Amino acid sequence: MLDYMQFVLAPQMLNGFAFGIAIVLMALGLTIIFGLLDVINMSHGEFFAIGAYAGVVLLASGVNFWVAVALVPLLMLPVGVLTERLLVRQVFDSADRHTLTLLLTLGLSMIFYDGLKMVFGPNPLRPDNPIPGGIEVAGVFLPAYRMFLIFLGAAIIAAVWAIIYKTSLGAMIRAAAFDRNMASSLGVPVSAVYSATFAFGTALAGLAGILLAPIFSVFPTMGHEFIVIAFTVVIVGGMGSIKGAVLAGLLLTQVQAIASLIISPVWTDPILFGIMVLVLMFRPQGLFGRLGHG
Amino acid sequence: MSSADDIVLETRGLSVNFGGLRAVDNVDIAVRRGGITSIIGPNGAGKSTFYNLVTGAIRPTAGKVFLEGREITGTPTHKLSAMGLSRSFQITNLFPQSTVFENLRLAAHALEPWSLSLLPVGRAKRAEAKAEALVERFGLGSKATEMAGHLSHGEQRRLEIAVALACDPKILILDEPTQGMSHTDTEEASRMVRDLSKEITIVLIEHDIDIVMDLSHTVVVLAQGRKLAEGPPAAVRANKDVQTAYFGAH
Amino acid sequence: MLEIRDLHSHYGFSHVLQGVNLTLRPGECVGLFGRNGVGKTTTMRAIAGWIKQISGSITYNGQEIGGLASNAICRLGIGFVPEDRRIFPGLTVEENLKLGLMQTAGRSGAQEAAALERAYDLFPRLKQRYRQMGTTLSGGEQQMLAIARVLVGDQKLLLIDEPTEGLAPQIVDEIFAIMRKLKSEGHAILLVEQNVKRALDITDRICAMERGRIILEGDGNSQADRDALMKAIAV
Amino acid sequence: QDIKVGALPPFTGPFASIGQVIKVALDMRAAEINAAGGIMGRKVVLVYEDGESNPATATQRAEKLFQVDKVDFLTGTVHSGLTLAVGQVAERNNRLLATTVSFSNAITGDRCSPNVFRVNPSAGMQASALALWAADFKKGAKVYYLGPDYEMGRSTIAEFKKEAEKLGATTAGEVYAPLGAKDYSQFFGQMRAARPDVLYMSTGGTDSVRLLSQLKEYGLTNMKLIGNSAAVTSDNLDAMGNAAEGFITSGNYSTLIDTPANKVFAEKFKAAAKIEANLYAADTYTVLDFYKAAVEKAGSVDADKVRAAMRGLAWDGVAGKKVMRAGDHQAIQDMYALELKGKTYHPLAKVDGEKAAGPDLCTKW
Amino acid sequence: MADDGSVTTSAPRSAGATAAVRAYAQERIEWRALNIASIVFFAGAVAFGVAYGLKGDTFYLRLATEALIFGAVALSVDILLGFAGLLSLGQALYFGLGAYAGALVLKQVSESFWLVMGVSILVGVLSGLIGGLIAIRARGVYFALITYGLAQIVAKVIYNTRELGASDGITGIPIVNVSFGFWQTKADNPAGFFFVVLAVIAIIYLGLLYLSGTPFGRALSGVRINENRMPFLGYRPDRLKLAAFVLASTIASIAGGLYPMLRGFVSPELMYFDASTNAIVATMIGGTGTLIGPLYGSVILVFLKSMIGTITTHQIMVIGALFMIVVIFFPRGLLGYLREIVVARSRTKDGGGP
Ligand SMILES: Nc1ncnc2c1ncn2[C@@H]1O[C@H](COP(=O)(O)OP(=O)(O)OP(=O)(O)O)[C@@H](O)[C@H]1O
Ligand SMILES: Nc1ncnc2c1ncn2[C@@H]1O[C@H](COP(=O)(O)OP(=O)(O)OP(=O)(O)O)[C@@H](O)[C@H]1O
Ligand SMILES: [Mg+2]
Ligand SMILES: [Mg+2]
């Protein structure tokens, strides 16, 4: 029994945790863009993929991994700004802009996906693990890179949360999200705030892309493969809630880890979905409501 | 006069908490059939919250609500409308992308039996006649085919009342109906409310004290969630507490 | 200070403003009156830059502001209290209020704190509720917040649309007192108000509006003009 | 008049990389055949449509190929379900289809069709060939199974397990991860605890990349890795770095199989496709030879005549002789256990094709 | 109140006409454009069927049949989106369930067209009830994502179920004989089956057209526009949404039932996200809330996809671009614009608003 706890359950939960942080990192950009701009960004997965491919290209051209980690989010900023200015903004005044932006970004994701495949080919790529090896604690093996991810991820999440809830910049962003005209009349440069927010969400996706590339590999369909779980996390947590995304991300990956152990991995997806349905039944707005509602 | 049959709407010990704030605190009110009962009070006294409790939009922390002697605490909103309780909203709450006429027809249709809802519109004459009458009665004739969302604020306020009326209520709760209406419109609106009160019981929340004093047979004063005074307008007006809490140096 | 010439605006098929002409001088309070739906709010929104489909000219201190973004207009010193309050739902009362500080750039932290303090003094109720979410305030409280939010800025021209709507008499008194004080401090005010009688106490000039035009302009202190106004808007 | 051959490879979707290989191989062989005078003096013209790995789209496009383009023969399908659905379209249009990649047993088993042929080895053939090797590798080896949780992943494991246990292997554990699983580390705890000698994997594509690189990340390197032929191929090999070194599978092809045809083919393919030739390339390349031989034998492109000619037809594949079994339309060929060294599969042992194929289970004709 | 509120407006009231009469007149104008479009559609379809039938064509007739079948799925998307304001990202689920039900009936019970129709209606109603009870609790985008998840999960389960052919799907579905008593045809008769499907779609279309004018249809619009106010009028928005959901799933399921007759197989891919998005694209191209629009959209999309598949392997990119072009430049869709033009014309004739 103790053996089981030590060699099976504990590593399982730890792995679940590392994976959870990874997913939260991805969900973070998604939830911010929704919470602040009211846009379901279906191309978020492709932004994630673009980040990963950008990383692969940088590494292949001899850039150091850590430099690439710093560069990729910066490279993603213009992608985000352009997407917001050229596309999302076009339908922003429409009454059903929820639907329209969803469909718009869906279309964009198709183009990005196909474009990535055209440029990089359909085969998977993978950058080398920058910190191979690991440490063994009480018979449990902890890969170094995953430990690093846990800490970096947690730091990023905390920083994002603080910016949005604890700074006046955050209040400005949230105000612009709720009422464009009024915020603008109070002097908030709404148009710039929107672009910046979208770009920020995009940069987060790209960052997640390169950070996860050594573990999960890089391939054209990676975007929509990861987006499903990211959406589940965001829905359960409450669209637009950072707290919710973190909690749901960690919770769901733990459930997944443990369910795959004691039931069967086959059932993990239906179980996650079942949780999503249950949460929505009792709290249609997710565990936590929209950004800003606490 | 005070026989139980005469009480249309009654609350007993109605209370609700928002976090630490007791927004409505142990309120007992009995609304008699016919005429107008007004609820007044300073801003944030809990008037709208009281309405929300009565109409089922919020669940009370404690206390009960009765409609014609039947307990309706916690009854879903749609059933309350079927039972004859209708309300207008302080903050306009219409169907902005529908025409004015459609807003009214939709409201008028609601109480038709379900079986009728699959028959095409041409046959549901009753609802239509009602919508038609309301359009005229509220002076929205020239706007009947406009989108409700395109009306000016004051026009929307008028439509708001009309929609609430279209449900054929026995008791109509109006939340600041004249808010945002121009002076002449306000006068007309109050005339109209008086006319209405001949057919149905009206509960009115209003800050325009002249209207309140003029129309109501009973005035209830709320302050800080509690009932401060209740009685005929003149008596309430003379009440010292009410004067300090509400009227100020007017 | 503010000069509107032949302003037209359309909402889809409807031609709402049909040539508005209006002038506002520094430190002056102009009342804009009229029945529902004549275009008072639309005029205000056009000045504040909320409506883009306009023609004609709006100049502020000689600068054309028609077509500018709302935040640019705000930065020129125009503050706007819209008729439907527009409190930000996800922000606390205090956050709502602090956002108003953005209207005026370049103030020191201490000046901003003083501005907040003054707003709280004007509306102690807001101070009690400062951590509550903005839209859970009662209707009247929201109105106070909407006004206070603009007052924490240092705007020279204030557009105020039906500020006393939904307020208890006591508060209405306070609001008028505040507007009078603002005027004495040198703020220009464009006021839309249904409570014409009370509004006349503070207006220097009065305009009656009908069908998208200003049909009458007069001196706020002349009884004859007041009578004409009452007649014009009480059709 | 030209002979039109239709092809429905997936250019989009999860199998897009295989689609690319198919196109290169077909183009290459068609050009060679045409240069050598075509089939019965007629030029071979390839007509491509994207099969998209979606049977619904593919059936519609197959109809187009048959009805509008009037192709005489169809190939290039990958996804097994798609092959089955398109096979039915072929049947209804009375045209012939040969697959070179789909390995679901059903295609030549309980869902065999008189109009459908398979040039490549079935899943069953691969499993039994590998099991024969595993029995020699270590007597009573403890095998841990890991596969994607869907029909193919499970049946491939079941197939192998059946054969391996017959030959004395034992099962240390068995786990099915969702298809497209992101993180396999969650299975490593149990796997480590079970201490297997051999890990059999039936993953494919990027799943294999993640599985193998994560195994390495967690230092789980002290067991022999084996798996089905789609697990590690030249498509996904690059992404694995050296994590797949020593991986063993079974198949009918390796660039090192020593036939004169293979030498030429392997080099030429690599030059054209920029990746090393793999089993898909070899089998697709050879399908045109199969068709050519049949048409020439039948003296016509008429489906019924060609079918009759195909049954029992023996021809030279890239890596050896193939015989189309008349009873179930499955090509019989020698199988090898193959070990990955560097980027190349090295043949370890040869397994007799007839033995690997097992009995003919088709009862349709 | 003043009997004439026209202080606020300069528009003269049409002499004597009551508000109801004018409201109707305006609605009629809005629908007139659509009704003409639907007559053109069905007349065109019949002409096409006759012409190509006489020509003895197979491919195009069968492609058109497929376009009609997918058109019904798009119609079901339109019921939810255009009427109740619910964006379903998983409408293919119900199509797929109908298809599987049809396939199983044909293969294992009886080769009866009518039985398949009956069973697919039943399956549509039941699955719609279950799916609806789950999904309608969520609002707005949550609804969209729930329907998406629901379809993903069920498709995955089917993908894993050996009894349903798992990833290989079900093949070998017999060719049915469709008999209307006075006329009969077989599913592999391209023209004959085209007309069968056309008839089914026409019936569905007319039914929906009728519904759109009933109080039920109007109440659905009320839900779309302001769901929160509905209970205060005495409506139950959840019931209305559920009814719309079941209606939509039933129509998708009927379309599903027709599919295996046409193509002879079913596979899990029928329920995939791609299939759902195609239905949405078709709806958007044609115009949401127009009913006939989705049918136009579906025909355009199916033929376009068939063509670009031959020209380029980057169809995904083309479809994606099409998506974006439609959303940005024609968010109301083909027929949405047609309607708008007609309405604008009639407005200028009447003199317009204030
Ligand atoms: N959801 C909530 N959470 C916290 N406090 C609330 C909530 N809703 C209302 N309140 C508080 O309860 C008090 C009563 O509000 P209510 O809206 O009932 O006042 P009211 O009497 O209608 O005022 P007004 O005349 O200004 O409309 C207010 O102080 C308000 O801030
Ligand atoms: N978004 C809109 N779309 C179309 N028409 C509109 C819109 N907003 C206002 N209108 C129309 O413009 C006219 C003027 O509206 P406005 O809100 O400016 O009136 P107002 O004078 O402020 O009235 P109130 O006193 O009722 O607030 C009204 O007739 C109204 O129907
Ligand atoms: Mg209130
Ligand atoms: Mg106004």
Question: C9: part of which helix (H) or strand (E)?
Answer: strand C2-11
Are C141 and B209 in contact (CB < 8 Å)? no
Q: Which residues, judged by CB distance below 6 Å to any ligand atom, belong to the binding site of ligand 2?
A: B 150-154, 180; C 11-12, 14, 16, 34, 36-42, 83; E 8, 354
Spatial neighbors of A28 by CB under 8 A, at least 6 apart, are A156, A157, A160, A201, A204, A208, A242, A245
Q: Which atom of ligand 1 is nearest to the CA of B45?
A: 21
pLDDT for E9 beyond 60: no
- pLDDT for position A15: 77
**A chain contacts of residue E150, beta-carbon cutoff 8 Å:** 273
Neighbour count for residue B200 (Cβ, 10 Å): 18
pLDDT digits (tens, 9 = 90+) for C178-198: 889 889 988 999 999 888 888
Give D178's DSSP letter. Answer: P
Domain formed by C1-77+196-235, architecture: 3-Layer(aba) Sandwich (3.40)
Q: Which of these ranges, A278-292, B48-62, B175-189, has the smallest mean pLDDT?
A: A278-292
- pLDDT for position E100: 96
- pLDDT for position B58: 86
Neighbour count for residue C121 (Cβ, 10 Å): 10
CA neighbor of B103 nearest in space, from E343, E237, E228, E225: E225
**Ligand closest to CA B208:** 1
Tokens of E62: 């069968």
Q: Helices A268-282 and E140-160, interaxial angle, to 10°?
A: 150
CA D64 to CA A95: how far, in whole Å? 42
As to burial, measured by CB atoms within 10 angstroms (0-12 exposed, 13-18 middle, 19+ buried), residue A57 is middle
pLDDT grade for A294, boundaries at 50, 70 and 90:
very low
Contact pairs from chain B to chain C, CB under 8 Å: 103
- pLDDT for position E7: 34
* Complex ipTM tops 0.85: no
pLDDT for E14 beyond 50: no
- pLDDT for position B1: 42
Quickly list H helices, D167-233. Answer: 188-194, 205-217
Stretch E209-214: mean pLDDT = 86
pLDDT for B181 beyond 90: no
- pLDDT for position B122: 56
- pLDDT for position A292: 41
pLDDT grade for A293, boundaries at 50, 70 and 90:
very low
Neighbour count for residue D274 (Cβ, 10 Å): 10
pLDDT for C140 beyond 90: no
Q: Three-state DSSP class for B56? A: coil
- pLDDT for position E116: 92
CA A29 to CA A76: how far, in whole Å? 12
Q: Which chains touch E (3 or more CB pairs under 8 A)?
A: A, B, C, D
Tell me if chain E has a CB within 8 Å of the CB of A287. no
Instruction: Find the closest chain E residue to A278 by CA distance.
Output: E134
pLDDT for A240 beyond 70: yes
pLDDT digits (tens, 9 = 90+) for B82-98: 888 888 877 778 888 88
pLDDT for B249 beyond 80: no
> Average per-residue pLDDT in chain D?
89
**Residue carrying structure tokens 């046959």:** B123
pLDDT digits (tens, 9 = 90+) for C101-119: 988 888 888 999 999 998 9
CA A121 to CA A119: how far, in whole Å? 6
- pLDDT for position B123: 53
Q: Three-state DSSP class for D339? A: strand
Chain centroid to CA D364: 23
**A chain contacts of residue C104, beta-carbon cutoff 8 Å:** 187
Q: Which atom of ligand 1 is nearest to the CA of B50?
A: 18
**D298, D306 contact by CB (below 8 A):** yes
**A chain contacts of residue E160, beta-carbon cutoff 8 Å:** 266
- pLDDT for position E140: 76
**A chain contacts of residue E280, beta-carbon cutoff 8 Å:** 103
- pLDDT for position E17: 65
The shortest C-alpha distance from D177 to chain A (Å) reads 5
CA E59 to CA E69: how far, in whole Å? 15
Residue nearest to atom 27 of ligand 2 (CA): B153
CA B160 to CA E219: how far, in whole Å? 18
Q: Which residues, judged by CB distance below 6 Å to any ligand atom, belong to the binding site of ligand 1?
A: B 18-19, 21, 23, 41, 43-49, 90; C 129, 132, 136-141, 166
- pLDDT for position E297: 94
Residue C188, beta-bridge partner list:
C157
D80 vs A137: which has the higher pLDDT: D80
Give me the percent of chain D exceeding a pLDDT of 70. 100
Q: Three-state DSSP class for E265? A: coil
Q: Which of these ranges, C15-29, D75-89, D240-254, E300-314, has the smallest mean pLDDT?
A: E300-314
CA E251 to CA B165: how far, in whole Å? 37
D164 vs C11: which has the higher pLDDT: D164
Are C211 and E347 in contact (CB < 8 Å)? no
Spatial neighbors of E109 by CB under 8 A, at least 6 apart, are E115
Q: For A1-10, which contacts have Cβ atoms below 8 Å and span 24 or more sequence positions?
A: A3/D193, A4/D193, A6/A138, A6/A139, A6/A140, A7/A139, A7/A140, A7/D189, A7/D192, A7/D193, A8/A261, A8/D189, A8/D190, A8/D193, A9/A258, A9/A261, A9/D189, A10/A140, A10/D189
pLDDT grade for E127, boundaries at 50, 70 and 90:
very high
Give me the percent of chain C exceeding a pLDDT of 90. 36
CA D78 to CA D71: how far, in whole Å? 19
For chain B, the domains span: 1-84+171-180+202-250, 93-168
**Residue carrying structure tokens 């992608």:** A79
Stretch A80-85: mean pLDDT = 93
Residue nearest to atom 6 of ligand 1 (CA): C136
CA A36 to CA A46: how far, in whole Å? 20
pLDDT for E65 beyond 90: yes
**Residue carrying structure tokens 């809330």:** E289
Are E8 and C16 in contact (CB < 8 Å)? no
Quickly list H helices, chain A. Answer: 2-3, 10-37, 44-60, 65-82, 97-120, 144-166, 168-178, 180-185, 190-216, 222-237, 242-262, 268-282
Residue nearest to atom 2 of ligand 2 (CA): B150
Are A260 and D219 in contact (CB < 8 Å)? no
- pLDDT for position A282: 76
Using alpha carbons, list the distances in angstroms from residue D152 to D359, E165, E273.
Answer: 20, 11, 21
CA E4 to CA D233: how far, in whole Å? 81
Q: Which of these ranges, B110-114, C66-70, D174-178, D299-303, has the smallest mean pLDDT?
A: B110-114
pLDDT digits (tens, 9 = 90+) for D328-364: 999 999 999 999 998 889 998 888 888 888 888 888 8
For chain C, the domains span: 1-77+196-235
Contact flag for D and B (3+ C-beta pairs < 8 Å): no
pLDDT grade for E15, boundaries at 50, 70 and 90:
very low
From the candidates D150, D157, D179, D183, which should be mutated to test the interface with A, based on the most A CB atoms within 10 A? D183
Question: E36: part of which helix (H) or strand (E)?
Answer: helix E19-55
Question: E297: part of which helix (H) or strand (E)?
Answer: helix E292-311
CA C126 to CA C171: how far, in whole Å? 13
Write the DSSP string, E162-206. Answer: GGGTGGG-B--PPPPEEE-SS-EEETT-HHHHHHHHHHHHHHHHH
pLDDT digits (tens, 9 = 90+) for D2-56: 999 999 998 877 788 888 899 999 999 999 999 999 899 999 999 999 888 888 8
> Average per-residue pLDDT in chain E?
85
Identity of residue A173: I
Mean pLDDT is highest, among B41-55, D212-226, D319-333, for D319-333
**Residue carrying structure tokens 């080896």:** D141
pLDDT grade for C52, boundaries at 50, 70 and 90:
confident
- pLDDT for position E203: 95
**B34, B13 contact by CB (below 8 A):** no
CA neighbor of C157 nearest in space, from C224, C92, C214, C80: C80
CA neighbor of B215 nearest in space, from B206, B228, B223: B206
**E33, E339 contact by CB (below 8 A):** yes
Of A179, A187, A292, the CB nearest to C103: A187
CA neighbor of A50 nearest in space, from A229, A219, A227, A230: A219
- pLDDT for position B80: 85
Q: Three-state DSSP class for B98? A: coil
Outline where DSSP puts E strands in B126-245.
Answer: 171-175, 201-205, 218-223, 226-231
CA of B46 to the centre of ligand 1 (A): 5
The shortest C-alpha distance from E234 to chain A (Å) reads 22
pLDDT for B166 beyond 80: yes
Q: Which atom of ligand 1 is nearest to the CA of C141?
A: 26
Residue B66, beta-bridge partner list:
B10, B71
pLDDT for A228 beyond 70: yes
Tokens of B145: 């085919």
Contact pairs from chain B to chain E, CB under 8 Å: 139
Are E352 and C14 in contact (CB < 8 Å)? yes
pLDDT grade for A289, boundaries at 50, 70 and 90:
low
CA B232 to CA D358: how far, in whole Å? 100
Q: Helices E237-263 and E92-104, interaxial angle, to 10°?
A: 50
Question: C97: part of which helix (H) or strand (E)?
Answer: helix C93-99
pLDDT grade for B208, boundaries at 50, 70 and 90:
confident
- pLDDT for position E354: 36
**A16, A23 contact by CB (below 8 A):** no
Write the DSSP string, B24-43. Answer: EEEEEEEEESSSEEEEE-ST
- pLDDT for position B194: 87
For chain A, the domains span: 27-124+139-219
Stretch C47-69: mean pLDDT = 89
**Ligand closest to CA E11:** 2
pLDDT for E353 beyond 50: no
Identity of residue D47: V
User: pTM of the full predicted structure?
Assistant: 0.85
> Average per-residue pLDDT in chain B?
83
- Between 1.20.1600.10, 3.40.50.300, 1.20.5.510, 2.30.330.10, what CATH number should domain B1-84+171-180+202-250 receive? 3.40.50.300
Using alpha carbons, list the distances in angstroms from residue B112 to A229, B119, C142, E168, E216.
Answer: 45, 11, 38, 51, 11
pLDDT grade for A7, boundaries at 50, 70 and 90:
low
pLDDT grade for E254, boundaries at 50, 70 and 90:
very high
**E chain contacts of residue A106, beta-carbon cutoff 8 Å:** 277, 320, 323
pLDDT for B2 beyond 50: no
CA neighbor of B194 nearest in space, from B83, B39, B29, B34: B34
Tokens of B57: 């939009």
Give me the percent of chain C exceeding a pLDDT of 70. 99
